Amino acid sequence: MNISMIGTGYVGLVSGTCFAETGNHVLCVDINEEKVQMLQSGQLPIYEPELEHIFERNTKAGRLHFTTDLQKAVAHADIIFLALPTPPGEDGSADLSYILGVARDLSKMITNYKVIVDKSTVPVGTAERVHAALAEHLDPQLFDVVSNPEFLREGVAVEDFMKPDRVVVGTTSPKAQALMKQLYEPFVRQGNPIYFMDERSAEMTKYAANSYLATRISFMNEIANLCERVGANVDDVRLGIGSDLRIGKRFLFPGIGYGGSCFPKDVQALAKTAEEYDYDFKILKSVMQVNTLQKQIMVEKLQTYYNNELAGKHFAIWGLSFKPNTDDIREAPSLHIINGLLALGATVCCYDPEAMDHIKKIFGNSIQYAENPYDALTDADALLILTEWNLFRTPDFQKLSNHLKSKTIFDGRNIYSMEQMNELGFYYESVGRKTIKQ
Ligand SMILES: NC(=O)c1ccc[n+]([C@@H]2O[C@H](COP(=O)([O-])OP(=O)(O)OC[C@H]3O[C@@H](n4cnc5c(N)ncnc54)[C@H](O)[C@@H]3O)[C@@H](O)[C@H]2O)c1
């Protein structure tokens, strides 16, 4: 099939590359000229495991191309995907200006039948709005609008896309349904389902999924906070509840709050949708409130430990991306923590294997950057662990002790065992577990 992907970010680039991998001819469009030039010259603008080799294979095979020319993309495709940003607007609802703007542009360019697919995360009713925007200049016989939300996770995006747990397709058009089935069949050979439903249900499914996952995180963060107070160990509690099949083991790790480009904005957008429909979605409000507080917990713990005297203290930070295996720092807890520490007069030296360039763009000269994890530790009063990259899990603790001014670790991700920290003589505070004091 001939496919165009409008928006070549995390979702557009991964989806486009994976569609090329199954033999389709894919043209990815972006308005960011620098990004398109990079891609045309064979470089990836994002870090995503597994992406590089399938990107290379498909560009070399001539199935994957990049352009800034929307008109060319329209002429190329039977199916046009919109993988555009849907950032939060000022009131928290999803900003649909990118989607509707492109839909209006398309309405002036389409001359034969196309399926327009919303892959972005968009509020209930967006497919109808896209339809209306297209119909401004276009005969409705010439297009169908489909909602096809994307569930890939950054860090394992290629694997998720190639072997999805499920594909959700929202459409009431039999013609569009048949094309979408044909396109996705190679991805569900192992029997995972393609669920066909109406557009509104598909749009709701994506928000319900992300909001439920965010709810699990906020729930576990509250359990962890309570564990600290009652003297229980949240890791044991997590195992104890996760083995119940009704609960399941995944997504029960407490930490320093959820971040990323999806959960914060999607939970907020669903709460806004509820408000618009006069529904008081109490759980979602709490999920957001708990997350805001959880992002402050590390700085609060430091303030308590240093008797509210953080001015002049110097901290090493390991991990900046909102989760491991991505360079994405959007809404990352690290941003809140660094800002909090700087506001209280502390200084920071940080290290992350992939996210340094992005962090430099935000903090410039106001913080220090290390070339490797150990350099970040020099003269630091404590090490703060903010992202659980594998690289940080088994460091050379002797070297770590030698570099730090004081053997003190605040671990926002529970990556070390308390026994080990005790044996090695560290002061060690983690989340939902007892503090190791020497
Ligand atoms: N990142 C994820 O893990 C993920 C997962 C599932 C769903 N989503 C959803 O997918 C959508 C896209 O997310 P993303 O993370 O890929 O965003 P992104 O910001 O990484 O990428 C969006 C791209 O669209 C481009 N763009 C903006 N306006 C354009 C225009 N008029 N024409 C062409 N290109 C344009 C931008 O330059 C950018 O490269 C969002 O709705 C998001 O919520 C994201």
So what's the pLDDT on residue 438? 80
Distance 5 CA to ligand 1 centre (A): 10
Please tell me the residue having the least CA distance from ligand 1 atom 7: 150
Residue among 261, 268, 329, 331 whose CB has most ligand 1 atoms within 8 A, to mutate:
261
Distance 174 CA to ligand 1 centre (A): 28
| Residue from 43, 45, 41 nearest 7 by CA | 45
| Residue from 108, 135, 148 nearest 3 by CA | 148
Active site annotation includes 18: no
Strand ranges, E, within 199-266: none
Atom of ligand 1 nearest to the CA of 157: 3
Distance 387 CA to ligand 1 centre (A): 23
Distance 86 CA to ligand 1 centre (A): 7
Residue among 11, 96, 152, 323 whose CB has most ligand 1 atoms within 8 A, to mutate:
11
Q: Which residues of the chain have pLDDT under 70?
A: none
Write phi, then psi, for 209 (nearest 5 degrees). Answer: -65, -50
Q: Which two tokens stand for residue 382?
A: 């404590």
Distance 82 CA to ligand 1 centre (A): 9
So what's the pLDDT on residue 344? 98
Atom of ligand 1 nearest to the CA of 94: 41
Atom of ligand 1 nearest to the CA of 328: 1
Distance 87 CA to ligand 1 centre (A): 9
List 18, 28, 262, 350, catalytic entry? 262
So what's the pLDDT on residue 265? 95
Q: Which two tokens stand for residue 51?
A: 């992406």
Atom of ligand 1 nearest to the CA of 151: 6
| Residue from 316, 265, 328, 319 nearest 291 by CA | 265
* Sequential DSSP letters for 212-229: HHHHHHHHHHHHHHHHHH
So what's the pLDDT on residue 214? 98
- Give me the percent of the chain exceeding a pLDDT of 90: 99
- Within 6 Å (CB) of ligand 1, which residues are found? 6-12, 29-32, 35, 83-86, 98, 102, 120-121, 150, 152, 154, 261-262
Do residues 183 and 15 lie in contact, with contact meaning Cβ atoms separated by under 8 Å?
no
Q: Which two tokens stand for residue 170?
A: 């929202």
